[in-house]
């Protein structure tokens, strides 16, 4: 009998055109996706992909498998939805800053909804201090936040360096002020940047200040400014800056969970587990 997880990996490769992008889609490591393909090939007794240049292409057998794989995965999803009356069916209110949301939210919800398709998740995107306040008054059951002074009940998921980052094409003439794109005044990473720069000799100038991480990211990717990011979020097309550019070191940043007071619902516990698993996998892949 064909394994649906293996078929999902196969279909992700077909849909994205690469093993790397497929791993992102199914929230697994690239080696795990490759293993899924090898096991399918062993079970079916044929090759599904062959190398072509730097990439791969489907074999005739691989092409034939696509429709069958989609039907099998669809049938399983339908069965889960039909029988999920015995599973979780409530609602959870999740808080997450938009910088974390852009990086992790799709993977978190993908992992969670596959297991609990009947649970409704509402998402609030604010800064970590604002989300902590909402959790404290019971407006949210759960939040993924950055640790900060005065935060209570914080469950650490990962600690990593906070770094200066910019586009690979970013350039500033020696001695010229470095343009910065940072969060709003309440942003914890901006506070760390401001504190570090207060002790540094390197001149900087604020180009963009925004609560919207997408706006900051667009400016940074265009090569117009530098910003602060957790090391694991310095993605493709970006590079880290440091002493060579005259920028001071930054303290580490800590990401974790906070819960509303009282006994959490089963839905909340399940979503918290999905967050833990997603962050753990993301950090292993970034290492």
Q: What is the pLDDT of residues 73-107, one digit of tens each?
A: 878 876 766 665 567 889 999 999 999 999 999 99
Q: What is the pLDDT of residues 146-182, one digit of tens each?
A: 999 989 899 999 999 999 999 999 998 878 999 999 9
CA 205, 210, 211, 215 torsion: positive or negative? negative
Could you give the angle at the alpha carbon of 68 between the alpha carbons of 63 and 70, nearest 5°?
95
Q: Two tokens at 30?
A: 């690239």
% of the chain at pLDDT higher than 90: 70
Mean pLDDT of 132-146: 97
Burial of 73 (0-12, 13-18, 19+ CB in 10 A): middle
Q: What is the pLDDT of residue 74?
A: 78
Mean pLDDT of 274-278: 92
Ramachandran region, residue 143 (left: φ > 0; alpha: ψ -120 to 50; beta: rest):
beta
CATH fold group of domain 4-85: Arc Repressor Mutant, subunit A (1.10.10)
Average the pLDDT over each of 30-44, 191-205, 216-230 and give the range with the smallest value.
191-205
Model confidence at 188: pLDDT above 80: yes
Q: Pick the residue with more confidence: 123 or 110? A: 123
What distance in Å separates the CA atoms of residue 247 and residue 179, rounded to the nearest whole number?
A: 12
Mean pLDDT of 265-273: 93
Q: What is the pLDDT of residue 53?
A: 82
DSSP state of 169: T
DSSP state of 243: G
Number of other residues whose CB lies within 10 A of the CB of residue 132: 23
Q: Which residue from 191, 195, 199, 164 is spatially nearest to 179, judged by alpha carbons?
A: 164
Q: What is the pLDDT of residue 268?
A: 95
Residues paired with residue 120 on neighbouring β-strands, in sequence order? 91
Could you give the angle at the alpha carbon of 175 between the alpha carbons of 169 and 179, nearest 5°?
50
In angstroms, the Cα distances linking 61 to 41, 58, 66, 187 are 10, 8, 9, 52
Please answer whether residues 142 and 113 qualify as being in contact, where contact means their C-beta atoms are separated by less than 8 angstroms.
Answer: no
In the numeric block, the tokens 């993301």 are attached to 282
- Predicted structure pTM score: 0.72
Q: Is 85 helix (H, G, I), strand (E, B) or coil?
A: helix
In angstroms, the Cα distances linking 134 to 70, 75, 119, 230 are 41, 40, 21, 24
* Secondary-structure class of domain 87-287 per CATH: alpha beta
Q: What is the pLDDT of residue 148?
A: 93
Mode of pairing for the β-strands spanning 227-230 and 49-52: unpaired
DSSP state of 139: S
Q: What is the pLDDT of residue 83?
A: 66
In the numeric block, the tokens 């400016």 are attached to 219
Domain limits of the chain? 4-85, 87-287
In angstroms, the Cα distances linking 261 to 137, 143, 257 are 9, 12, 13
Q: What is the pLDDT of residue 85?
A: 58
The per-residue pLDDT of the chain, averaged, comes to: 91
Q: What is the pLDDT of residue 81?
A: 63
Please answer whether residues 240 and 233 qualify as being in contact, where contact means their C-beta atoms are separated by less than 8 angstroms.
Answer: no
Q: What is the pLDDT of residues 199-218, one digit of tens each?
A: 887 899 999 999 999 999 99
């Amino acid at each position: 009998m064909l394994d649906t997880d293996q078929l999902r990996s196969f279909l992700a490769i077909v849909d994205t055109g690469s093993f790397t992008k497929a791993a992102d889609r199914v929230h697994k490591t690239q080696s795990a996706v490759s293993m899924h393909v090898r096991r399918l090939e062993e079970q079916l007794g044929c090759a599904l992909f062959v190398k072509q240049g730097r990439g791969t292409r489907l074999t005739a057998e691989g092409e034939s498998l696509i429709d069958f794989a989609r039907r099998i995965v669809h049938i399983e999803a339908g069965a889960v939805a039909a029988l999920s009356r015995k599973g979780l069916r409530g609602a959870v209110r999740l808080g997450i800053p938009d910088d974390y949301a852009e990086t992790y939210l799709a993977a978190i919800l993908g992992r969670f909804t596959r297991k609990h398709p009947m649970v409704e998740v509402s998402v609030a995107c604010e800064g970590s201090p604002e989300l902590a306040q909402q959790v404290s008054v019971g407006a949210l059951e759960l939040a993924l936040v950055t640790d900060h002074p005065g935060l209570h009940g914080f469950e650490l998921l990962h600690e990593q360096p906070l770094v200066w980052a910019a586009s690979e094409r970013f350039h500033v003439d020696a001695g010229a002020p470095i343009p910065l794109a940072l969060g709003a005044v309440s942003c914890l990473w901006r506070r760390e940047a401001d504190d570090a720069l207060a002790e540094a000799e390197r001149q900087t100038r604020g180009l963009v200040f925004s609560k919207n991480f997408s706006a900051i990211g667009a400016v940074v990717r265009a090569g117009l400014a530098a910003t602060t990011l957790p090391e694991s979020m310095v993605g493709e097309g970006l590079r880290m800056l440091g002493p060579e550019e005259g920028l001071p070191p930054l303290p580490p940043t800590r990401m974790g969970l906070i819960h509303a007071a009282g006994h959490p619902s089963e839905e909340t516990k399940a979503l918290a587990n999905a967050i833990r698993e997603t962050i753990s996998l993301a950090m292993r892949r970034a290492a």
